[in-house]
Amino acid sequence: MFRKWWFFIVICLSLGGCAGNLSELEILARENNQFDILISGGTIVDGTGFQPYMADVLVRNNRIEFIGAVDESLVVAKHTIDARNRIITPGFIDIHAHGDPLLLPQFKNFLAMGVTSICLGQDGFSKEQKDLRGWYQQVNDTVPGVNIIPMIGHSTLRVLSGANYNTAPTNDQLQEMLVLTSKNLESGAFGITTGLEYTPGFYAQQEELDTLAYAVSVRDGVIMSHMRNEDDDKIEASLDELLTQGRYSRVHVSHLKVVYGKGSARADEILNKLQAARERGVVITADVYPYNASYTGIGILFPNWAKPPNNYQAVLNSRRDELLEHIRNRVEARNGPGATVIGTGEMKGWTLNDLAFQLKVPYEVALVDSIGPGGASAAYFVMDEELQTRLLLDSLVAISSDGSTTMHHPRGHGAFAKIISKFVIKDQVISIEEAVRKMSGLPASILGITDRGSIAVGNKADILVFRPEDVRDRATYEKPQELARGFEYVIVNGELALEKQQFSDQRYGKVLLKTEGPSM
């Protein structure tokens, strides 16, 4: 017996100690001491909302391998990041964004504000292909600058099925929508988006929406909705329409706002309505962007009977006076002509008052004759700061930008930086750990992403290193495409995409697919 124990002791000593006495790092390093990135001396804000804590992070092969105190004599790292006096967070996930990764794949505006993944296919419109797998491959071959989270657009389904602008799709058309939904959910899309304020989604009725909701529920997807009407006197009805779909599927309110609404008490009414639905068993969440002006096509000021599939010239010939009256009433209800700022074309930067002055005609005449329902996009100052801030602070409301690389609205280049610079640092109405959760862990949970959105061993290495007090949102309504500053290191899939304001010459994003779970 003594000889057996002596033999065991000799073996342990020859290995440098018994395995039971080795630290987790020592065991990891003995297996392979080569790592891609060591982030040392930082404070981890992990994306869960829990208290920050100090630790080092080791990354290898696009995976967080170790979190804890690292003895640097035990490891060799290709890159070492000194994170002293800085925080280490998950890369942010923009749950509502826009862009074409085949045309403009860099997405530098998102990287500059700490966003490493964006959710595309919003407001009912996705790539117009029956099988999105081909598009996924094209995007991966192009290599985007950020990860792409794909959704299926409901309006796109209507077009592909032939339903288009029909109020009631035929049985064959509805069946085709269901087939396309199921096929693309199975191949990796995270759910469906609806844009019920836009055509052709506007023409959908509750039965169609409920039927699609059931198909989404089979794959545990989510329905994200740009609701039918966000006006103060219509928003409850719009929420009811979405909550009805919530009997079947998880549902989510895109860019939650109350147009014309005022005050935190009005926000509480909306939030209480959502909470009451949860108590009935509905799983409902929302997102907001931190600006008080929305941004969309100028067609939002025009009636649906003046937009496709209707012939605009025929409308001008037969209903011109009615159209002018509608637009005038609509603009006045939306805080007047000074509250609409054109964001595209030769008239970019003009308010409707400026438009009227320059063209020497009433603004409604200028809109009808010189722009038309598809002729421009604009910012609309129609939201109340106190109300929107209260919505933003709710624990089940995530942060989004609703922005793109080319958008003429500061949210596309500043939203996530503004959350930190204004709401965390300047106004101090939200903690850094809660802000990070709303931009990482919460959107990951809403979408069903299990391997990103938090700093945890085994998760993919989408990571930020920065000092919150250095973060600046520089985009303004006058200069909406100024890049954010202060996110010192941005790591995408284990690679340094942004380092001290210098973008890598290479891109490291890819399409994330829900079917592949945590290992894609």
- Tell which wins on pLDDT, 6 or 225: 225
Locate 390 and state its tokens: 């209260």
Q: Tens digit of pLDDT for each residue in 113-147?
A: 999 999 999 999 999 999 999 999 999 999 999 99
Q: Tens digit of pLDDT for each residue in 44-80?
A: 999 999 999 999 999 999 999 999 999 999 999 999 9
Secondary structure tally for the chain: helices H, strands E = 16, 21
pLDDT band at 20 (very low <50, low <70, confident <90, very high): low
Domain coordinates in residue numbering, the chain: 1-25, 92-291+393-448, 296-381
- The CATH fold assigned to 92-291+393-448 is TIM Barrel (3.20.20)
Rounded to an integer, the average pLDDT of 246-257 is 98
| DSSP 8-state symbol, 299 | G
Measure the CA–CA gap between 166 and 195, rounded to whole angstroms: 15
Whole-number average pLDDT of the chain: 93
Measure the CA–CA gap between 197 and 304, rounded to whole angstroms: 9
Residue 238 pLDDT > 80, yes or no?
A: yes
Cα–Cα distances in Å, from 305 out to 172, 201, 202, 229, 310? 27, 14, 12, 16, 6
DSSP string for residues in 61-102: TTEEEEEE---GGG-EEEEEEE-TT-EEEEPEEESS----TT
How much is the pLDDT for 515? 67
Q: Tens digit of pLDDT for each residue in 130-189?
A: 999 999 999 999 999 999 999 999 999 999 999 999 999 999 999 999 999 999 999 999
How much is the pLDDT for 344? 84
H or E stretch at 25: helix 24-31
Rounded to an integer, the average pLDDT of 222-232 is 97
